[in-house]
Structures are given as C-alpha cells and as structure tokens.
C-alpha cells in the first residue's frame, strides 16, 4: 500500500496545520509516513502545500503521480491537477465551481503563462467546473464538496468559524476518502490541539460533520481509493518529527548547554524547540540542568558566542543556513586556529545570496568543506535521514570535543522541513575528550606530543592565551618558522587521526546488492529517494547498490575507493548544478564520476524521478536534469 496526498491552499490559510493533521492521523493508523512541506517566502497569500506519502512499508521520500489532491483554493487546483494519477481524486469546495482558473493574481506570471498554454492545448476551458469535467473525461475522480452547507447544517457553525476550520475539513475528507476512520482523525485532532480546548472542540465538530457528509456525497462517485488503507500491524511507540526537531532532541540528549542563533529559514525552528525544553532530566527523573538559548544580533555574534561558551567547557553549538554561514566563516577559522570544539548545524537552502529562502538545495557542500582562508582541520558530517540526524547531533558534539575541531553538521531543507515517524531515541555515550588534570604545572594549551590533540583545560581552570595569530604551545603569538611548521602540522594531522578512528559506518554506507555492477552515489535527504527507488530498480534486473556518503571532511578517499573501483558504472544523485559530491570524489580519489543526475529547482528529488533518471543514464545520457514538482 502506497498513497500520496497533496493538500494545498494560500499561505497563512492553515495548510501546515492541515498537513500535520493528516500526517498524525496516518501515523496513528500505524502507517509509515513521509511529508514534504513546500511554502513561499512571503507571509501570506502565495500557494503553499504539503505532499504526504503513507505506506505499510518504510519510506523516506515522496512520489508522483499522487492519489489525492485536496484544494482550499483555485490556485491549488490549477497547480496540481496534472499531478493526479488515473483514478486519482480531486476534492475541493463546491463553491469554487464557477471560479476562473486563468485569473489568479497570487500566481507567479511564469506559472500562469504555462497554465494558460496547457489549458489551451487541452481545450479545457477557463473555469473550475470545466476543468473538473475535463479531468473526469480523462479518468480522474472529482468531488466538489459542499463544505459550508454541511458544516452549517451538521455542526451549527457560522461563516467565520467555518473558515477557521476549513483546513481540518479538507484534511478529514481526504483521509476518509483513503479509508482512515473518523475515530483516528479525532484522535489526531486531540493530539494536535492538546493545549487548546476551544480549538479542539471546534475541529472535532467540523471533522464529524464533513465525515458524515462525505459518506453521503461520495456515494455518487466511483472512488477506487476509498478503501485503500486496510489493517496495518502495530508498530509500537513512535515520534513524529521534522528534521529541526530531530537535531534539537539529539543536542539535548548529547548534553547541549549553550545554543546561539540568529533567526533564518530553515534553521531557526531548531532553536525554538530547544527553548521549549528548558529543563533537562536524567533517566531517574532528576533535574540536571537547562540549556541556555541566545538569539544573537547577527550570525557573527552567534558563532563567537558559541566559541566562547565552548572555551568555558560547556557543550556549545549554533545553527544557520547559507547566508548566515557566510558571515560565520571568519569565526570558524578562529575556532580552527585555536582548536575549539564548537558545533555548527548548517541547513542548506537555495542560493546564492538570499536565493530561495524556503526551498531545498544541496549546493553548499564544497563551501562547507573549504570555508575559511588557510588550512585547518574540521569535520563535516552529512545526515541522510531523520533518525540519523538525531544521533548525528550527539556524535557531532562528541567528535568536536574528542578531536578539538569545529564540526559542521551538514543538513538540507528537505531534512529540516520534512516530517516522518521515528523510534524514540536511546541515550548515547557522551565523550568529553582529553582533559588536563587540575593544578597542572606550566599548563600549555597547545602542547606538542605524540597525539595532535592536546589535553584541554577550561577557561578559569588554568592560565591560558588565545589569539587569531599563529602561536606557540602556550598560546603566545609566534612567527618563528619552525614553530609555525610544527603547529601547522599538529592541527592538520588531526585529519589522519579522525579517518583512522571514526567508524566506517560514519564515513559511508552501502545499501543493496554487494555484488553490484551499478553504483548510485548520493547524500543528504536525497538518499531516501534513492533507497525507495532501489527495490523498483532491482526488480528490472539491474544489479545496483546505493552508496550514501556521510563524512565529507576529512574525506574518506580510501574507504570510498573500494566501492568505486568495484563498480562498472557510477552515477551521482544530487540536488545541485555541478554535482558537488562527484567533484569532491574526483578531487580526493582521482575517480571521475561522469554520470550525474541533478536537480536545482528547489524541490525534492522524488522516487519516480530516480527510477526514470537511472533508465535514461542506462540509455546513454551522461547528465540528467530533473524538473518535477511545483
């Protein structure tokens, strides 16, 4: 069982709430879920939607075509009518039937021009009713639902209250169309509005009213998807999280005590979650402390505050996106020079400059691995799933203190804003790294030795010096060439130490047939689409495996070369223009990845796109550019 839903409407019209309600209900029905939220960077009015996928098997991506489209406005109908599969269901308010579909002021002019051309070629007409009729002639199911009448009659609500709950109404009808029982929808409403008693009662009443109305209205339609969802085995307790939530949970589990940030999409939500959990408890329920969360005046202040916190001995981190990371670069260089264990959670979005503030991208990989002038050791770890993201947040703090380097936890908008269900986390081990014994004689912060990682004292414990200039073992400024050579080599040799000691599963992970002939190399949230496509591709007879690269710096060239040299054909799958991981592989291993599947529209790479692109590569194309999604 595999169903895809789109719920859309004007930004500010409750679309995020409608999507979350649907995801909660599907998860409570014991289904696996994965939901992508697409939204404009304006405050109100532009088209926004959630693409929700539900299955009885594990999924990590979205897929087209879709089974259901629920539209709160005409623009959603006009934008997504082509996304429906044969037999798919479009549900919208019957009050929209006479509305024109070619006069949509909020729609971007390029999209509106394409829409007019599509309608003209198909001889569709210019009203919602004419489009509905055209869709039904093409084998789709259209359900114009009289929401206002049914809610007024059955829930006894007036117009202003109806408008407030239309998002719940459309989500309820979609879920009932897929076979989700009303009791489960009510349970999801109770969870979503747990602390808002009045809103909970309003939405329960609306859900009950439109559910009864659906049973009546749908009798006139042949809806093959209505009973698509049957009984599913219980999966036990799970958590519904976005990637921002997963990072926040991981940081708290990992002992975070200072989080700094400047608000920026899509990073800021992480700090908001940490702020909401200001008390930390041990497994016995005893209060052990609370993290301090500071909204700085800018990203330069945020990184410098985090560095200062790390020097005092607390676990410190900051979070940002591309424009903010650009401002942090000088501070990161200072942390590299002074071997400061600070963590930067870096959420990629469309660039350059402000670019696409709310859209997906994987175009900052090379920037993250080489940002800052000069050379210094750092770790860049890229997560590929929500569960991995949570545990990597803990690992990043451990790695920072163990090797005394800045650690960049590289994520993307897809991870940040997509929602899925994961198992509750287990508490991991906290590693604080090498410490100096108290009362050390003539403490030298950057002492030379057999190990490039010097024992560390916290500010206030010993006398020490820090400077942005090159320095000697004590931290005093030094331009002596022999000291420079030794200190430079001390810092840089950490890279070899990290590659020796970090487990292979944190460098890269192979999925699929170990006797592969074709190797699909990918990273970040795009890994999910590759893994979801793997079964489908192997069913065609292809001997294919997926290699997810996790550690980007220091780059595990020796470990990756074993997989690359074994493959007859290697292709990279990435959400950027040049294939930045492919470039990184060639720079470090000399292996040229000629075949590249790329997408840079700001939308996620989907499972069906991976399958189609793979077939095109096998057909002789070297570079396939993906364009799906609105």
The CATH architecture assigned to 505-626 reads 3-Layer(aba) Sandwich (3.40)
Q: Comparing 2-220 with 240-422, is the CATH topology the same?
A: no
Tell me the C-alpha distance between 63 and 527, whole Å: 14
Residue carrying structure tokens 């997504």: 80
Q: According to the model, what pLDDT value does residue 38 have?
A: 96
Question: What ranges do the domains of the chain cover?
Answer: 2-220, 240-422, 434-502, 505-626
Alpha helices in 267-360 (DSSP H): 268-276, 299-312, 322-337
Whole-prediction pTM:
0.96
Residues for the chain: how many in total? 630
Residue carrying structure tokens 């999604």: 629
Q: According to the model, what pLDDT value does residue 220 have?
A: 74
End-to-end CA distance of the chain: 25
Torsion of CA 250, 386, 52, 510, to 10 degrees: -170
Q: According to the model, what pLDDT value does residue 77 have?
A: 97
Q: According to the model, what pLDDT value does residue 223 have?
A: 66
Q: According to the model, what pLDDT value does residue 225 have?
A: 47
Q: According to the model, what pLDDT value does residue 228 have?
A: 64
pLDDT tens digits, residue range 315-367?
Answer: 999 999 999 999 999 999 999 999 999 999 999 999 999 999 999 999 999 99
Q: According to the model, what pLDDT value does residue 600 have?
A: 98
Q: According to the model, what pLDDT value does residue 234 have?
A: 83
Tell me the C-alpha distance between 357 and 178, whole Å: 34
pLDDT tens digits, residue range 430-465?
Answer: 999 999 876 667 899 999 999 999 999 999 999 999
The CATH architecture assigned to 2-220 reads 3-Layer(aba) Sandwich (3.40)
Q: According to the model, what pLDDT value does residue 283 have?
A: 72
Tell me the C-alpha distance between 593 and 26, whole Å: 40
Q: According to the model, what pLDDT value does residue 163 have?
A: 82
- Contacts by residues 325-330 (CB-CB < 8 Å, ≥ 24 positions apart): 325/299, 325/364, 325/367, 325/368, 325/371, 327/298, 327/299, 327/300, 327/303, 328/299, 328/300, 328/302, 328/303, 329/371, 329/372, 330/300, 330/372
Q: Per the omega criterion (within 30 degrees of 0), is the bond before 494 cis?
A: no
- Per-residue DSSP letter, 131: H
Tell me the C-alpha distance between 5 and 515, whole Å: 36
Q: According to the model, what pLDDT value does residue 273 have?
A: 96
Within a 13 Å sphere around the CA of 345, how many CA atoms are in the beta-carbon half? 37
- Residues of the chain with pLDDT below 70 are 222-228, 230-231, 438-440
Residue 186: name the closest of 164, 162, 210 by CA. 210
Task: Give the E-state strand segments of 117-188 in sequence order.
Answer: 141-145
Q: According to the model, what pLDDT value does residue 439 have?
A: 64
Tell me the C-alpha distance between 205 and 156, whole Å: 9
Considering the chain, what is the average pLDDT of its residues?
Answer: 94
Tell me the C-alpha distance between 511 and 525, whole Å: 15
Beta bridge partners of 253: none
Q: Which fold has domain 240-422?
A: Rossmann fold (3.40.50)
Residue 461 contacts by C-beta under 8 Å, 6 or more apart in sequence?
313, 436, 438
Residue 340: name the closest of 495, 440, 445, 248 by CA. 445
């Amino acid at each position: 069982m595999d169903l895809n839903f789109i719920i859309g409407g004007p930004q500010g019209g409750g679309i995020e709430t409608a999507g979350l309600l649907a995801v909660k209900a599907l998860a409570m029905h014991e289904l696996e879920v994965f939901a992508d939220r697409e939204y404009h960077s304006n405050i109100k009015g532009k088209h926004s939607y959630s693409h929700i996928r539900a299955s009885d098997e594990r999924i990590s991506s979205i897929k087209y075509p879709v089974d259901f489209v629920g539209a709160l406005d005409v623009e959603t109908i006009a934008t997504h009518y082509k996304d429906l599969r044969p037999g798919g269901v479009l549900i919208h308010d019957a009050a929209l039937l006479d509305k024109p579909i070619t006069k949509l002021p909020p729609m971007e002019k390029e999209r509106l021009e394409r829409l007019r051309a599509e309608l003209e070629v198909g001889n569709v007409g210019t009203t919602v009713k004419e489009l509905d009729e055209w869709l039904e002639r093409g084998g789709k199911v259209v359900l114009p639902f009289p929401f206002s009448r049914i809610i007024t009659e059955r829930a006894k609500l007036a117009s202003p209250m109806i408008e407030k709950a239309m998002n719940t109404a459309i989500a309820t009808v979609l879920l009932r169309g897929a076979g989700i029982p009303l009791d489960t929808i009510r349970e999801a409403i109770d969870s979503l509005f747990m602390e808002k008693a009045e809103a909970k009662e309003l939405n329960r009443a609306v859900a009950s009213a439109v559910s009864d109305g659906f049973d009546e209205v749908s009798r006139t339609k042949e809806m093959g998807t209505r009973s698509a969802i049957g009984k599913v085995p219980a999966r036990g307790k799970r958590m519904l999280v976005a990637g921002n939530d997963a990072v926040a949970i991981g940081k708290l589990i990992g002992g975070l005590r200072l989080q700094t940030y400047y608000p920026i999409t899509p990073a800021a939500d992480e700090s908001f979650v940490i702020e909401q959990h200001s008390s930390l408890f041990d497994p016995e329920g005893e209060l052990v402390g609370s993290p301090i969360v500071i909204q700085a005046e800018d990203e330069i202040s945020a990184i410098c505050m985090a560095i200062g916190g790390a020097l005092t001995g607390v676990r410190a981190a900051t979070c940002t996106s591309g424009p903010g990371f650009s401002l942090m670069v000088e501070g990161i260089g200072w942390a590299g020079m002074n071997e400061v264990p600070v963590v930067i959670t870096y959420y990629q979005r469309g660039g350059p400059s402000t670019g696409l503030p709310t859209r997906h991208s994987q175009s900052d990989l090379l920037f993250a691995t080489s940002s800052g002038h000069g050379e210094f050791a750092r770790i860049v770890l890229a997560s590929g799933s929500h569960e991995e993201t949570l545990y990597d947040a803990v690992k990043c703090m451990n790695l920072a203190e163990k090797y005394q380097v800045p650690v960049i936890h590289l994520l993307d908008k897809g991870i940040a804003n997509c929602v899925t269900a994961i198992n509750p986390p287990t508490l991991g081990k906290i590693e604080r790294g090498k410490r100096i014994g108290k009362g050390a004689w003539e403490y030298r912060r950057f002492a030379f030795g057999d190990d490039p990682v010097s024992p560390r004292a916290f500010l206030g414990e010993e006398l020490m010096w820090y400077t942005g200039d090159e320095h000697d073992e004590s931290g005093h400024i030094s331009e002596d060439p022999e000291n420079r050579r030794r200190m430079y080599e001390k810092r840089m040799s950490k890279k070899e130490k990290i590659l020796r000691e970090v487990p292979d599963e944190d460098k890269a992970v192979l999925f699929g047939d170990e006797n592969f002939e074709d190797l699909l190399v990918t990273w970040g949230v795009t890994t999910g689409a590759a893994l979801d496509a793997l079964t489908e591709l192997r069913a065609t007879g292809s001997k294919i495996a997926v290699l997810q690269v996790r550690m980007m710096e220091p780059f595990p060239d020796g470990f990756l070369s074993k997989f690359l040299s074994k493959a007859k054909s290697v292709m990279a799958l990435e959400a950027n223009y040049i294939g930045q991981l492919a470039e990184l592989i060639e720079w470090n291993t000399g292996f040229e990845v000629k075949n590249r599947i790329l997408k840079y529209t700001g939308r996620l790479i989907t499972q069906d796109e991976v399958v189609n692109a793979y077939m095109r590569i096998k057909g002789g194309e070297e570079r396939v550019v993906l364009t799906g999604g609105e």
